[in-house]
Amino acid sequence: MTKFSDLNLNSKVLKAIVEAGYETPTPIQAGAIPPALEGRDVLGIAQTGTGKTASFTLPMLSLLARGRARARMPRSLVLCPTRELAAQVAENFDTYSKYLKLTKALLIGGVSFKEQEAIIDKGVDVLIATPGRLLDHFERGKLILSDVKVMVVDEADRMLDMGFIPDIERIFGLTPFTRQTFFFSATMAPEIERITNTFLSAPERVEVARQATASETIEQNVVMFKYKRRDRADSEKRKVLRALIDSEGDKCTNAIIFCNRKTDVDICAKSLKKYGYDAAAIHGDLDQSQRTRTLESFRNGELRLLVASDVAARGLDVPSVSHVINFDVPGHPEDYVHRIGRTGRAGREGKAITICNPRDEKALNAVEALIQKEIPRIDNPIKSEEPAKPRKSAKPNTEVEAEGAKSPKASKPDDKPVKHARSDDKPAKRSNRKSDKQSGGNQVVGMGDHMPQFIALSFDERRAG
């Protein structure tokens, strides 16, 4: 088996690896580091969780250990699709470069240009950026890319999903032809293939097993969920979510809950909080400082439940997530693999539970086809619910929102427990509704929350009105 000490890494980098507690290189590291140190381009086909960040960070630091950066001219460039991922890569650099005198800058949206410019002005060895923010700096004339010796594109397939490929091509064109390139993608879509053929020169191709096959430590389950009332489908689903969290009890130390739509991320987080759960949302419409704070509190164990969209959570490295709950079956089957890969990391046990509506069964079939196994079904934790007639007028929201688009304002939780059917954990609240007061507290059963006021009036009051 390969050892880190066999890989020809800089001795100061090796020392930092030992301190990080790594004993042996992961397959992507063993495959990518030697050609990278020889100065070759590397095409890594690997997903997050495989140790791919270190597979490019470690050789980069070794290559950059000697030499100095000039003002505004970074010596290396790492492009990441999201701010969180960029911040995570920056943390990796800090860990492995602690015994080297290298400088780095992180160029991500939501942070002031001035602050970032001041750092670039001093000269940085490593520049970690999201493509849009990097080009903003370039266009302001504050950044020169002609001294870039090593360029990394991380999570290229997600860059493609997010429409960043033209930016990436442009950035490639701004860097010297002689640069060394490390390019990582979980899949090789034709567009990605085209980019690598254009910008990489005779790369060493290193492919590691799909995470779906590697994550044997993750117990996977599906709850088939059929709403009782169509107009309450979403709130019933949130009730299932709460029941699932409750049924896992203390085993669920922390969880990431994935929703397909940003509006649902907000609604779920608000709803969970309302029911007394320790939850917060993370998605692309939240401002950067809020996202960073939320993520930090989740990482350090202060926050138990992180409700997330795919893009915001992509590549997040939170080593000890006990559970992943898919509030929705993801539309792209690969996202299922990414999502459940947040748990069961580094050989730990993990549990992934997916809630599936009848209308999501097709998506579930696609997931099962991709991972080549059937996900065991478990019972809906809520069994004893009275059936109710669906309302004709209600229309389920089927719109899938893309990250980056504006959220519609339907972000108000609508799952107030119906009074007569309470069997859940909502703290009891006194109603201030006029109709309740007028009816002297007598409840009219069977009208949901939308009882017309006139029904609550006494016969005399109605006549007088």
> What is the binding site for ligand AMP (CB under 6 A)?
22, 25-26, 29, 48-54, 317, 319, 346
Question: Minimum distance between the CB of residue 93 and ligand AMP, rounded to whole angstroms?
Answer: 12
454-462 long-range contacts, CB within 8 A, separation 24+: none
H-type alpha helices, 97-130: 113-122
Q: For ligand AMP, which is the closer residue by CB, 91 or 147?
A: 91
Query: Closest distance between ligand AMP and the C-beta of residue 36, in Å?
Result: 15
Nearest distance from residue 50's CB to ligand AMP, in Å? Answer: 5
Smallest separation, CB 31 to ligand AMP (Å) = 12
CA distances, 408 to each of 50, 263, 403 (Å):
36, 7, 12
The smaller minimum CB distance to ligand AMP, of residues 120 and 129, is found at 129
Minimum distance from residue 281 beta carbon to ligand AMP (Å): 22
Closer residue to ligand AMP (CB): 47 or 309: 47
Torsion-angle region of residue 448: left (phi > 0), alpha (psi -120 to 50) or beta?
A: left
What's the token pair of residue 3?
């050892």
What's the angle, vertex CA 230, arms to CA 225 and CA 233, rounded to 5? 50
Reported as half-sphere exposure (CB side, CA atoms, 13 A), residue 118 has a value of 4
Report CA-CA distances (Å) from 39 to 54, 203, 238, 386, 401: 17, 10, 52, 67, 42
Q: In angstroms, what is the minimal distance from the CB of 234 to ligand AMP?
A: 33
Residue 423 phi, psi dihedral angles, 5° rounding: -135, 10
CB of 47 to ligand AMP, least distance (A): 7
> Is residue 1 packed enough to be buried (19+ CB in 10 Å), middle (13-18) or exposed (0-12)?
exposed
Length of the chain: 465
**Angle, vertex CA 225, rays to CA 221 and CA 227, nearest 5:** 165
For ligand AMP, the closer of residues 17 and 107 by Cβ is 17
Q: Which is nearer to ligand AMP, 187 or 442 (CB)?
A: 187
Cα–Cα distance for residue pair 398/336, rounded to 1 Å: 19
Q: What's the min distance (Å) between Cβ of 55 and ligand AMP?
A: 7
Judged by beta carbon, residue 55 or residue 271, the one nearer ligand AMP is 55
Closer Cβ to ligand AMP, 51 or 59, answer by number: 51
Contact assessment for residue 184 and residue 52, using Cβ atoms and an 8 Å cutoff: yes
